[in-house]
Chain A
Amino acid sequence: MKPLLELENVSSGYGSIRVLHDVSMEVRTGEIVALIGANGAGKSTLLNTVMGLIPTSSGEIRFDGRSITRATTAMIVGGGIAQVPERRQLFGTMTVEENLRLGAYTCKDHATVARVLKEQFELFPILGERRWQLAQTLSGGEQQMVAIARAMMASPKLMLLDEPSLGLAPLMVERILDQIKNLRAAGRTLLVVEQNARAALAIADRGYVLENGRITHEGPAAALLGDETVQEAYLGGSGTGVGDMEARIRRRRREILAQAGRIAC
């Protein structure tokens, strides 16, 4: 199948700091793709680069066959990509419905807005019950649903979810993941960025592992779930290239401590 989103050797970063190094990946229509990796691996940077919030320093990003490498965020959103930001970023003092309506802000047709709003309440019945409640009074999981539904209001082709399970209780994590599966059933394509690797890979078709700004593993989700090297990507380890620096640091530590007359443990 033809990829909906395609990254080819993309590098980017903040000012003089390079965060992503030659990242290549693709998301095909109708897929759920999980992008996993430890804190600081560059996952959010990758999403922000796709959204045009951070300029791409080299490489090419294509969406639906067209290059969006130099497009502005407004153009990218208009083209059909919606981002659900990390930590949700709702308008706390506005109601659930007002938050959702803001997601369709660019749509001037009242009938269409009313229809997609109704769809969201069908998809997330709990939000229908709470449509008049202020967003800040909702639980973390419900707020996450509002954030997802708000992104859905623009009827995007591709949704980017940044850490949807962050700060949620385990049971709530499962409910959010179920909702994400429902979105795919409703015809969306999703790229889910997660630190909670097991949860993300459990619902994904394919996955990519990002480590220090580079893709180190990719493949079917089930295969990655069983891979021991994925575990090392999170906790470091011995023997692999990742462990070399750790071993060198340990050796220096012993030398310096010995010089200082202290005993290394």
Chain B
Amino acid sequence: MKQSLAAHKTTISVVAFIVLVALYPLVFSGSYLVGIGITAGALAAGAVGFVLLLGYAHQLAVGQAGFCMVGGYSSAILCVHYGWDPFLALLFGVALSMLVAYPIAAPILKLRGYVLVMGSLAFQLILVVAAFELHFTGGALGTYGVPRFAILGWTMGSDWLYFYFVWACVLVTIAIGLNIDRSRIGRALKAIAVSENTAGSVGIDTVRYKVQMFVISAGMASLSGSLFVHFLRAMDPTVFGFAFSLNLVIAVIIGGLMSIWGGAVGATIVTALREGLRGLALPMWESVIMGGLTVFVLVVFQRGVAGNLSVWFDRWAGRQAKGAVSVVAPAGVELPRVDIEQGATVLEVKNVSRSFGSLRAVRDVSFTVEAGSITALIGPNGAGKTTLFNLIGGYQPLNEGAISFVGKRIDELIPNQIAELGIGRTFQNLQLFDNMTVLENVMCGRHRLHETGIVSISANLAAARKEEQESREAALRCLEFVGLRGAESLPATELSFGHMRLVEVARALAMRPSVLLMDEPASGLNDTETEQLAELILQISALGITILLVEHDMRLVMGLADKVVVMHHGQKIADGPPDQVRADRDVIAAYLGTEAHETAA
């Protein structure tokens, strides 16, 4: 019973939401209290957008209230001066805001941290000043006489009717938010929040999704502005000032940054508290208490009210209990083979150099990787292996030379573009997304194979649902391939170290890569696990996937590799089959060190 409740958390939340909204005007029937309900709802619509921007995209663009002004003035001016239907004016405001947000998103989101805060506040300030100075906004006096809200001529004659409309709008924003949350875009945003580098390694474009959230959040802010204006029945430049921005921030922090519901919950709490405290007629205490509460939530209650409710619910329903890892022999399941002509040069590193200041980390290194082969890159500490790996993956630019993938230059590309081509990688220090389950981590690998966009995802269209289902099944097959079945619903960080490494391999396999770069896959594994890893690497190789690995465990390198490339002091000193390399005098000297008197000579 409890278990089945757990599976329907979203349905339960929606039902609770509808019941509470439906009952509110019946219980709190006075026009003052219904009015408070309307302001809470209008704030909630903006706050849900702010959760997407702040909680999901991690962009503290606090000037988002500027888009509330765009919406507010669109509604006020179009309805008062041009006699538009309020509903159409509202839609116009939303469209205008999103249109304005799109071109300014990329430059403004280039800013980071407090500079972004200042930049976006400056944007809001420009709008406030413009509203004061421009003629058509009505200047400091604003625009008065905004009509009651109406949809295509049908006027909402009473406040409680408008109350229901406002909260219906909130439900729409929540639905969009939830659709994004459980889609590949939601996963991409969570991945970016953990590490932009790792997100790039599976082909996630880090700028694109931040821009999308900025635009969606602008639309929701505009909606919030329009809803407010039809309640206030007037619009002036001070309505959506700095204080309102702060209100939005406090609402999402208290409600829960990483929960779509947090926006609505937080907006309700903040509005209720403000009104309640106003009754004390002590304006100072209102600010002090709101500020104190924000700090309290930030320090001891970081998930916010909605986030904690969700965790408590899960715990009560025992949702975390299921899922024990049952490790099976790897490769019990078939994955699609990679079609690439065996033996052709798939990766070519040609005269590559890279310096850091005076340190020449990689000097004039050239080698090739043949399709379908296992190639190992070895060398003592500080030899430049990791640097070379990062150059191939696009994490750092080259100083000289060229890197080609099936004949095409890739050294100008950035990590997610390289991943897009089908070059997957695993990391030396595990880089799992710790805010997602095992299955979600692996599904992130499918990112480059997806086609549905933000519109069909927001509306949860059939195409998006179908793709999500395919993605889930493919990710499960990858988990099965690496031998991890039953672990899919566990948080990624609850697995043992060896199993986490396998999840990372599964995530890379979900990309359907033609080349897999593995950075020290055996580090931290014991002997048994190392030998299991060797088996897995061989099974991956049997799929036709080309493997390039950096590794220190010589048993693994010498046992697996077709070709070994040895680096020392940034240069390649040997390259060939394992037994030839092992007997090489330079290689032995590099590993054991040369005798001091020899080098002095």
Residues of A participating in the B interface, judged by any CB pair closer than 8 Å: 14-19, 38-40, 140, 163, 165-167, 170-171, 173-174, 177, 194-200, 202, 212, 230-231, 234-236, 242-243, 245-250, 252-253, 256-257, 259-260, 262, 265
Contacts and interface: CB of A to CB of B under 8 A. Distances in A.
Top 3 A-B pairs, shortest CB-CB distance: A249-B559, A236-B554, A196-B593
A166 to B, nearest CB: 5
Given A174-B599, A196-B593, A235-B591, A253 B538 contact: yes
Interface of B: 342, 359, 372, 380-382, 496-497, 520, 523-524, 526-527, 530-531, 534-535, 538-539, 541-542, 552-560, 562, 577, 582, 587-588, 591-596, 599-600
Contacts of A18: 526
Given A40-B520, A199-B593, A17 B497 contact: yes
Given A195-B380, A202-B595, A265-B562, A17 B538 contact: no
Contact of B381 (A166, A243, A256, A265): A166
A246 B553 CA distance: 10
23 contacts: A14-B524, A15-B497, A16-B497, A17-B524, A38-B554, A167-B382, A170-B594, A174-B599, A196-B592, A196-B593, A198-B594, A202-B595, A234-B591, A235-B587, A243-B555, A246-B559, A248-B531, A248-B559, A249-B538, A250-B559, A253-B538, A256-B542, A265-B562
B527 A245 contact: yes
Secondary structure of the B side of the interface? helix
Given A235-B582, A253-B560, A198 B595 contact: yes
Contact of B554 (A170, A173, A199, A246): A246
Secondary structure of the A side of the interface? helix
A166 B555 contact: no
A235 B599 contact: no
A171 B554 contact: no
Contacts of A256: 538-539, 541-542
Contacts of A171: 599-600
B187 to A, nearest CB: 25
A242 B554 CA distance: 9
A70 to B, nearest CB: 25
Contacts of A247: 559
Contacts of A231: 588, 592
A69 to B, nearest CB: 23
Given A40-B523, A249-B534, A174 B596 contact: yes
Contacts of B497: 15-17
Contact of B527 (A212, A250, A265): A212
Given A40-B553, A198-B595, A253-B560, 14 more contacts: A15-B497, A17-B497, A39-B380, A167-B359, A196-B593, A198-B592, A198-B594, A234-B591, A245-B556, A246-B558, A249-B531, A249-B538, A252-B538, A260-B542
